[in-house]
Chains A and B, each alone.
Chain A
């Protein structure tokens, strides 16, 4: 397909799709939650724009409805809900430390190449000018998945999930000219309900572990409690007692950790 053969509107669809892909990368690399939410909102707005321009080109009126739905839901409502949630959890100034950002970005580039390779047989079938966008939408889905895997922050994971949904929607618009309106409405409500549920979950998680870092859910609660206050609190008042607690149940995972400082302080106290 030669770009110069396309009309200006068709070229702009391709351009918007490329920008959607770029925003996926921005989302993946953005450490500040509020900026990531803004990037997600822009991605939603761009997908709404793609849908509207495709509707204009193909004269498909039902696509205008889904463009409007996408704009309201993905670019306004969900970002607003996420923003409110972040404010309630006092995470506005939160900067996540992303582990190995360069590796994650190169992984995302590899995913783009992989999805292009995957889509090559589909592209060989004539599908109209939007067929090349399928690879981009698949890449957006995979990068959303990568974001869910690589981030520890629950809000960032939800952003990854939502951007996966963006990619699926872009695939539907570019491959088949949009899903039937009933399906689209159903998906839209599903996403909205998922968002509400995520909100409830966030509040629960942050209530119980005081953070939204889901990696901390892997740790055992008792082990945490034993590691932190156990060393300082028990060793100080009574040396003999502390050594006993350490020795009493050797089956405990952190038994060794507790005994070492306690016996050392016992040794210092003796002379």
Chain B
């Protein structure tokens, strides 16, 4: 462990964090392209989210008269909290210093921090849309967080550690083992990820100005640079969950040694996984319709139940006496 806390380790960790920032819009663009093709449209290029971000950064930033300073610092806080959370999830290599000093519970905490400021910013200006967006976001996340922690504990019990990089290392060392608890934890995490990143059965990411929106409702008052930061944070969150799911359940390919060859292989591996996962997300969003808001708790209860079953099946079926 101590060998990883070197200068090289920190440099790689920084590189990995920057890679998260750089890749996040691409994943969103890829999902949109897949969706457009499946719906019979040509769709914009996958680079379109980058152009949108550039356009927003160049625009003037307007702030409502009623806004408090919190409204202005919230975008920066949300982006930084999400970015820090992303930095704790191993993207290319295990045992980087950022992954060693933070575990799954820190990850959940950082995401919660970002969410609190997002909701506060939504309520700050005092418009009705921002208020209901914030209340819905809190409803969803209050139900999703226990399910996420259940899934995290299931993983932690197998690896005897809540540290993500040890979880992945244990899984790598074991080889292919069909664990029922992993299957349940996977299903629970997928449901939580869908709810937390505001994807289709829970929230429609492609709609504005509808009474069904959740995430967009909180951003209605933002413009220019602030809006760009908020959007970027949301894209980063999607990438974070995608990498979490891909690298925890299918860790093969991730670099265990810090050599150039291993890192390049890891980059190719994670890009392949993300392409597949993004295509699956696009397909799922084409197939499913949006759930009514009052049905969302049922979906998240299912996620919690799956997480609990994962824990129980680990204790009952995998440990034994």
Docked-complex contact A18 and B313, CB < 8 angstroms: yes
Chain A interface secondary structure, helix, strand, loop or mixed?
helix
Binary per-residue interface labels of chain B (176-188) against chain A in the complex, 1 for a CB within 8 Å, 0 otherwise: 1111110110000
Residue A135, interface by CB 8 Å = yes
Q: How large is the interface on A (under 10, 10 to 19, 20 to 34, 35 or more residues)?
A: 20 to 34
- By a CB distance below 8 angstroms, the chain B residues around A22 are 184, 306, 309
The verdict on A109 contacting B312 (CB below 8 Å), with A11-B177, A14-B317, A133-B317 known, is yes
CA distance A3 to B313 in the complex (A): 12
Q: Is B320 an interface residue (CB 8 A)?
A: yes
Write the chain B residue with the least CB distance to A126: B321
Question: Chain A residue with minimal CB distance to B183?
Answer: A15
Report the tally of A-B residue pairs with Cβ distances under 8 A: 68
Q: How large is the interface on B (under 10, 10 to 19, 20 to 34, 35 or more residues)?
A: 20 to 34
Pick the contact of B313 from A4, A21, A102, A123 — CB < 8 Å? A21
Contacts of B317 in A (CB 8 A): 14, 17-18, 132-133, 136
Asked whether, in the complex, the Cβ of A123 is within 8 Å of the Cβ of B320, the reply is yes
Interface of B: prevailing SS: helix
Residue of B with least CB distance to A115: B316
**How would residues 3 to 41 of chain A score, 1 for a CB under 8 Å from any chain B CB and 0 otherwise?**
110001001101101110110010000000000000000
Residue B308 is within 8 A (CB to CB) of chain A in the complex: yes
Q: Does chain B have a CB within 8 A of A75?
A: no
Q: Which residue of A lies closest to B179 (CB)?
A: A3
Contact check, B178 vs A135: say whether CB atoms are below 8 A apart: no
CB of A209 within 8 A of chain B?
A: no
Chain B 141-173, CB within 8 Å of chain A: the 1/0 string? 000000000000000000000000000000000
For the complex, give the distance between the alpha carbons of A113 and B312 in Å: 8
Q: Is the CB of B309 within 8 A of A116?
A: no
For the complex, give the distance between the alpha carbons of A167 and B318 in Å: 19
**Cα–Cα, bound, A7→B179 (Å):** 12
Residues of B within 8 A of A18 (CB): 180-181, 183-184, 309, 313, 317
Which A residues lie at the B interface, using CB under 8 A? 1, 3-4, 8, 11-12, 14-15, 17-19, 21-22, 25, 102, 105, 109, 112-113, 116, 120, 123-124, 131-133, 135-136
A-B residue pairs, 8 tightest by C-beta: A18-B180, A1-B320, A11-B178, A123-B321, A18-B313, A132-B317, A15-B180, A116-B316
